[in-house]
Every structure is written in C-alpha cells, then in structure tokens.
Amino acid sequence: MKQTDEQLWREARERLLALDTVWPDAPVRRRSLEACRAWLAARHEQPRLSALARLLTPDMTRAQFWCALVPVEREVARIRVTDIEILDRDLTPESEPAAPLMPLTVVTDSLRSAFNVGGIFRTAECFGVAEVVLCGYTPAPDRPQTARAALGAEKLVRWRDGGDVRAALAGLKANGVRCVALETVADAKPLERAEWAFPCALVLGNERFGLDADVIKLCDEVVRIPLCGRKNSLNVVSAFTIAAYTARQWFDMKSKTG
C-alpha cells in the first residue's frame, strides 16, 4: 500500500530516532546508518526525503546526524495539528468522562473557520458541555478541517444544526434555557461577576463581526472577558475556553452546595 507524505515523514523520523538510540554502539550504528540511508535513498516519491540520504555518511558525527534529523522533525511538526496519536487515546467513545455533563448549550452564529469550530468541539468535550448548536453558516463537524481540529471530540459531543440563530434562541428560551451572549459590547458584565444559572446557553458570534445587535437583545445577559492589552478581543476558541471553565466552576460549586 502506498504511503502518504505524512506517513513517510513520520516513518523517517522514527527510523532516525531509532538510529540515535544505538549511536554509542559503533558496529550497530554503522549497520543502522546504512539501512536508514538506503531507505531514504529509495524514497523517490518524496524527493526531499530522498535528498537526505546523502547526508548520512559513515564518518559523520552525532552533531552532524542531529542536523540531518532537524528538517524531518520540523516537517512532522508542521503537518500535524497536535499529537493525534496520544490525544486520540483520550477520546475513545468507550472511555468514561471525568465528570458529569453540565446543562450548558453552546450556540455558534456563523463562525467562518472550520478549525475554530473543531476547537470549540474539543473545548466543549473537555468541560462537559451538553450540546453544541451550529447556526448560520457555521461549518459542520463532517467537514475534514473541522474533524481534524476536533480530534474526535465531534463524535463525543451532541450537536445539531440550529438554522437561524434567532429561531434557535427562541426555541431555547421557550424551554426555559437562559441565553448569555459572550460579546465585547460596552455594557456587558465582566465574566467574573456573572452568576450562572442552569440550564444555560452561551452564544458565540462570528470571528470578525461578532453578534448582531438584535441577537444580543434576544439574550438574557451579555458577558465579556476583561482584557488588559491593546486588543479588545480574543480568538473565539480562547474566549469560549475561559467562559466554559468559569461556567464549569459555577456548576460544580452549585452541585456540591445543592
């Protein structure tokens, strides 16, 4: 079976790291170095890998070997979102969550970035969010870019297409769900002073334009994250992470006190 470029770079890294571990043993090093050099030279389908073979000479020093390893390490780091092999073991459907779900719904209104949506799913799963509602043109989890950034979390978090955000909020409020907008408007309450009442919905807006004024008016409360720098807003995933952590703290506290 033909390997993908990603698989080739990963295998090259594994072979070079294996060579590094036997470096102190000169006879084993020579045999391993020649085998690694031959494997690289045969990778004609990936010329950049094949070109590395000429760097692996029998008399090279370990420092020279590490110089040959660096571009492989960089390429493997570039082509991955994160260490997928490790993280996927934490996202198996068979594993039990560390804590019960909290009755928090996340509503996204016309997010444009599939990677941001994937990050929201990942964050939602980490903090035990009950549901994600995708409104407007927010990309769904079946998009490859979304799934890649979510790292499997899209399979563990309940989600649905909410259509127009106004209709979605009306439906939530009709079911007794309190809707809170996360926005940087002047009269928004600082996040640390907000009192979370559950069930609750946290509403997130477009990365560039935020939430429309009429959508904000439909919400029961508006909260913001106080910032200290020259920029007045965070990336939507970063902002959601802070808000989700705050909501989780409130939920756990209320669960303990009854």
Indicate whether 82 pLDDT > 80. no
Rounded CA-CA distance 110/113 in Å is 9
What's the CATH fold of domain 95-257? Alpha/beta knot (3.40.1280)
pLDDT value of residue 161: 94
pLDDT value at 249 more than 60: yes
Cis peptide before 103 (omega within 30 of 0): no
SS percent in the chain: helix, strand, coil, step 5: 50, 15, 35
Residues 6+ positions from 27 with CB-CB distance below 8 Å:
none
- Find the mean pLDDT for residues 245-255: 90
The confidence score (pLDDT) of residue 86 equals 41
| CA pseudo-torsion sign 215, 159, 144, 86 | positive
Answer for the pair 206, 110: CB distance below 8 angstroms, yes or no.
yes
Whole-angstrom distance, CA of residue 10 vs CA of residue 84:
12
Strand runs labelled E in 43-157: 102-109, 129-135
Instruction: Say what angle helices 114-126 and 236-257 make with each other, to 10 degrees.
Output: 20
pTM: 0.65
Q: Supply angle C-alpha 165, 239, 133, rounded to 5.
A: 30
Instruction: Give, in order, the Cα–Cα distances in Å from 252 to each of 71, 91, 102, 172, 249.
Output: 46, 22, 9, 23, 5
For residue 76, the model assigns a pLDDT of 77
What is the spatial distance between Cα 18 and Cα 22, in angstroms, rounded to a whole number?
A: 7
Crossing angle for the helix pair 62-79 and 5-21, to the nearest 10 degrees: 150
Q: Between 233 and 57, where is the model more confident?
A: 57
Q: Where are the domains of the chain?
A: 5-80, 95-257
Mean local confidence (pLDDT), 178-196: 89
pLDDT of residue 243: 95
CB 117 within 8 A of CB 149: yes
In a 3-state reduction of DSSP, which class is residue 169? Answer: helix
pLDDT in tens, 99-158: 788 999 999 999 988 889 999 999 999 999 999 999 999 999 888 888 878 888 888 999
What six digits make up the tokens of 41?
A: 């030279």
Cα 20 to chain centroid distance, Å, stands at 32
Q: pLDDT category, 221, cuts 50, 70, 90?
A: very high
DSSP three-state, residue 57: coil
Mean pLDDT, all residues of the chain: 86
Structure tokens at 99: 């804590």
